[in-house]
Amino acid sequence: MMNTEQLVSQAKSIQPWIVGLRRQLHQHPELMYEEFETSKLVQSTLDELGIEYQKDIAVTGVLGTIGNGEGPCVALRADMDALPIHEEADVEFRSEIDGKMHACGHDCHTAMLLGAARLLKENEDLIQGTVKLIFQPAEEGGAGGEKMSEEGVLENPQVERIFGLHVSAELPTGMLAARAGTLMAAAGSLKIIVKGKGGHAAMPHLAIDPVTTAAKIVVELQTIISRELDPLESGVISVTMIHGGEAYNVIPPSIEIQGTIRSLTLDGLKHLQTRVSEIAMAIAQGNRCEADISFPGHDYPPTLNDEVCWEAGKESVEQVLGVGKVLEMPPVMGGEDFAYYTQRVPGCFAFLGIGNPDVGATYSVHHPKFKVDEDALPYGAAIHVNCALNSLNDLR
């Protein structure tokens, strides 16, 4: 086995290379299933490293394979897509595309996994088995992890453990946090179209007002969480968009409401969806309106960390970061499509600290001023490698 000090030192020695890739990706963000240039950069980097891969999986996904194939198989995963957010961070490598930004750190995830690929290739003689490198599209709502799984990335050879990292500004650089069991929530979206009858705002009695009805629905949905859920149970219903109306003196014919629903179980999510439907329909009917209720997109399952994988991962991370640098955290209500992999094989997902006030890395993910302490990136690469090598050893 490679000693961990050597691994960390090798990872730090290629930091400029990892950072260079990350910045290139950061300047050219692409939204879900449009990651064509990102995918090309991943492919050309794997070509340079002499790593075999398959491309065009789930549209833009790439699957790299490394090792001697004689023994168990472990997978490492990074997501590649950006968000429709206009960047406001003051960095010299700002997004060159207005309205698109790597505000969730997927540029870091991809660069760290490419860093891990380079380290693994340089130490390929130590790999007794196979390490799969999964570069997936469309984590942000497109269920790229489900598509990659359906297209066979966990098979031939069969993946026995999978690991993934997500950067977090809430944790300082040099720290990592996760837990066994449910780490992240089941998540889905909601859409309600309230239909009434338009008319002059000065004569509301001649119209059927969808605005007041929509307002009642928004308020009432909150009582599902506050009055129907056990106070010790977790759930979220957040209305985040309301669209309707064109003029101040006209009652519009319809209003559109959108938002998200979260629960720590898929059954909990389904229950909340049922109650949203029942309440929206009843309020609409009681106010002479109609309500079309749908839950578009994908219902992401909760992200579950296998206990054995978490213990193995924790040990591997402590070897890289040091004892006391790994925290057990409570579950969070964010969703993550790494969950599609852990539905199929045991795995572990964890948050890697990239927070550092000295470089302005204090904003949370999905914020237009999100920044990263790039000193964390070699740690991420080393953690990937150590988790893979230690797991191959455990599984033999």
Look-up of token digits 């033999």: 396
Residue 297 region, left (φ>0) first, then alpha (ψ -120 to 50), else beta? left
Question: Could you name the CATH architecture of 188-294?
Answer: 2-Layer Sandwich (3.30)
Domain ranges across the chain? 4-185+302-395, 188-294
Q: Tell me the Cα Rg of the chain.
A: 23
377-395 helix and 106-122 helix, angle to the nearest 10 degrees: 50
Centre a 10 Å sphere on the Cβ of residue 270 and count the other Cβ atoms it contains.
16
Token pair listed for 243: 């669209």
Euclidean distance between CA atoms 104 and 146, whole angstroms: 19
From residue 71, alpha-carbon distances to 75, 117, 121, 341, 379 in Å are 13, 19, 17, 21, 27
DSSP category for residue 145: H
Global pTM value: 0.95
Helix (H, G, I), strand (E, B) or coil at 307: helix
Residue by residue, pLDDT tens for the chain (396 residues) are 678 999 999 999 999 999 999 999 999 999 999 999 999 999 999 999 999 999 999 999 999 999 999 999 999 999 999 999 999 999 999 999 999 999 999 999 999 999 999 999 999 999 999 999 999 999 999 999 999 999 999 999 999 999 999 999 999 999 999 999 999 999 999 999 999 999 999 999 999 999 999 999 999 999 999 999 999 999 999 999 999 999 999 999 999 999 999 999 999 999 999 999 999 999 999 999 999 999 999 999 999 999 999 999 999 999 999 999 999 999 999 999 999 999 999 999 999 999 999 999 999 999 999 999 999 999 999 999 999 999 999 998
Beta bridge partners of 184: 303, 332
Q: Answer yes or no: same fold for 4-185+302-395 and 188-294.
A: no
| CATH no., domain 4-185+302-395 | 3.40.630.10
Of 142, 235, 241, give the one whose Cα is nearest residue 193.
241
